[in-house]
Chains A and B, each alone.
Chain A
Amino acid sequence: MTAILTVRGLDARIGGQQVVEDVSLDVAEHGVTALLGRNGVGKSSTIKALLGLTERTGVVTFAGERIDGLLTHRIVQRGIAYVPEDREVFGGLTVEENLRLAERAGAPNRAIIAELFPELLERAKQQAGTLSGGQQQMVSLSRALMNENRLLLVDEPTKGLAPRIVGTVTTALEAAAERTPMLLVEQNLQVVRALAHTVVVLSGGRVVHTGPATAFLDSDLVHRHLGVSTDQEAA
């Protein structure tokens, strides 16, 4: 399996406190790699560190190029799109302005928004801050998916969403993953089972397990590392 992104010895600090310690992982050039772990183990911090959004050290190589010394916007311009935890849409801007802002060089594919989230087109002139959580997540995903990406970093895309929206988001991610490799942070293990082929599990800021997703989700490692049982996952 060839990796599009390799991470070696990544440390990250927020406000002087170490939140990620010596993390090494690979993201395959096809499909979804899920980054799992209990709350607060450093999953989101790992993603932010990869993007240079937190103070970090370590070696991060993307498509053969070192990116750990680059500024965030330069990393993103190399084709790495970010869907942040909590959506982070610009609430004071309209939906259309949010999308226009996210258009990168190349040929942004607006048609994909009509295909995946048609209701956003009807709300183009609505302020993003007045949208529901699910609609905001659609804006956040659209910002990423309409560009030509070589890697997607997606952080808790179904967090706090109604079950119907979770289905919509999962379908959209599934479609995106067919074209673009993805590093996915996700607490909903049903979504992980539907999307991921590989899991990387963090505990205390360190990697404690790496392996095939199905084997991990069917084993008692789920309980040991995530504190839930496979029965709970099914429920």
Chain B
Amino acid sequence: MTTVLLLLITGVGLGALYFLVASGLSLIYGLMGVLNFAHGSFLTLAGFLGWEVGRRVGDGSWAGLLVGMLVGLVVGALVAAITELVFIRALYERHIEQVLVTVGLGLASVALFEGIWGTDPIQIRLPEWLGQTTDVLGANIPNDRWLLIGSAALVLVLIVLFLQRTSYGLVIRAGVENRTMVTALGIDVRRAFTVVFAIGGAAAGLGGVLASVYYGQVGAHQGTSLLIYAFIVTVIGGLGSLSGAAIASVLVAVIQQFANFYLGGTGDLAVVLALAAVLLVRPTGLMGKVTH
């Protein structure tokens, strides 16, 4: 029972990390039809810069970590918005070219990060509490999972509030359904594109700093490896669906944890099989209903 509980809660913690990356991917695809392969770069850059600023504020301190998370949010949002304005906007409706550009950015940025911070991951210092565990009904849950779960839940609530309560949110929800009709109502939907990129980038940026907390290190390939799972989550959840991304993030991570423990480290295989099963049974994903 304690093992099940441990796997469940650590799974949800990992799912929180997946969600931070997948939420932006899903919103961006839902609204713009762009598969953003550069999303992992936002995460990695935010992770590095968050760590760089955070350790200067206070290496291993809460203040350093919180400042790092804030820097991650801002860096992610800025880099994503610039990417949209400079690279994506010029290729509006040219989806193949958009994919090529984002793949190119993703590959080139990893090389750039390796050039600046080296090829080996850098171990980081964290507040002591994050390295400890909390007893939950006999299961010792690593404390960093609570930070991940809390942050992702907060991001989910903030994005939902933004989508439900603001005029940009209304445009984005409508655009995910029918982008063409939004423009035919006289709305410049391109502004919403930039906003969605910035929101997705901010979530990924926060994810970058929290990924370094989860793994205890920052590295040039962190974004790339998480991006693969985030894409799987996005497809399983349904492209364009935020709630789908949230549910699929937890599902994928929990399946991964259980398969790793009970089926001899086959977590990755289990995730791919889950993806195949969803695509066969429900090709639009769990909550997807996007039409373009």
B183 near A73 with CB under 8 A, answer yes
Chain B's interface size range is 10 to 19
Asked if A102 contacts B170 (CB within 8 A), the reply is no
Which residues, 160 to 174 on B, are CB-close (under 8 Å) to A?
Answer: 170-171, 173-174
Judge whether A73 and B186 touch: CB under 8 Å: yes
Residues of A close to B186: CB separation below 8 A: 73, 76-77, 104
Tell whether, in the assembled complex, residue A72 and residue B174 are in contact, meaning their CB atoms are under 8 Å apart.
no
In-complex Cβ contact of A84 among B170, B184, B187 (8 A): B184
B183 touches which of A71, A92, A102, A143 (Cβ 8 Å) = A71
User: Does B120 reach chain A (CB closer than 8 Å)?
Assistant: no
> Of all chain B residues, which has the CB nearest A52?
B183
* Partner pick for A76 among B171, B173, B184, CB 8 A cutoff: B184
Is A92 a contact of B177 with CB atoms below 8 Å?
yes
Nearest CB in chain A: distance from B202 CB, A:
24
Tell me how many residues of A have a C-beta within 8 Å of chain B: 20
B145-184 Cβ-contact flags toward A at 8 Å (1 or 0): 0000000000000000000000000110110011011111
A97-B170, A100-B170, A101-B171 known; A73 and B187 CB under 8 Å? yes
Chain A nearest CB, measured from B285 CB (Å): 16
A143 cross-chain contacts in B, Cβ below 8 A: 185
A-contacting residues, B179-200, CB 8 Å: 180-189
Q: Interface digits, A31-74 against B, CB 8 Å rule (1 contact, 0 not)? A: 00000000000000000000101000000000000000001110
Closest to A80 in B: B186
Take A73-B189, A88-B178 as given contacts and tell me if A93 and B184 are in contact as well, using a CB distance cutoff of 8 Å. Answer: no
Answer yes or no: A91 CB below 8 A from chain B CBs. yes
Asked if B185 and A102 make an inter-chain contact with CB atoms under 8 angstroms apart, the answer reads: yes
In the complex, the chain A residue whose C-beta lies closest to that of B180 is A53
Residues in chain B near residue A77, CB distance under 8 A: 186
**Which residues from A are CB-within-8-Å of B174?**
90, 93, 97, 101
- Are A101's CB and B177's CB within 8 A? no
Given contacts A73-B188, A73-B189, A101-B187, contact A91 B182 (CB under 8 A): no
> Are A90 and B177 closer than 8 Å at their CB atoms?
yes
B225 to chain A minimum Cβ distance, whole angstroms, is: 34
Complex CA–CA separation, A72 to B189 (angstroms): 10
CA of A90 to CA of B177 in the docked complex: distance in angstroms? 7
B92 — nearest CB in chain A belongs to which residue?
A71
Top 6 closest pairs, chain A to chain B, by CB: A76-B186, A72-B183, A90-B174, A88-B181, A77-B186, A102-B185
12 extra interchain contacts, Cβ-Cβ under 8 A, other than A73-B189, A93-B177, A100-B170? A72-B184, A73-B185, A73-B186, A76-B186, A84-B181, A90-B177, A91-B177, A93-B173, A97-B174, A101-B174, A101-B182, A101-B185
Question: Footprint of B on A, CB under 8 Å?
Answer: 51, 53, 71-73, 76-77, 82, 84, 88, 90-93, 97, 100-102, 104, 143
| 18 CB-based A-B contacts, threshold 8 Å | A53-B180, A53-B183, A72-B183, A76-B186, A88-B178, A90-B181, A91-B177, A92-B173, A93-B173, A93-B174, A97-B170, A97-B173, A101-B170, A101-B171, A101-B182, A101-B187, A102-B185, A104-B186
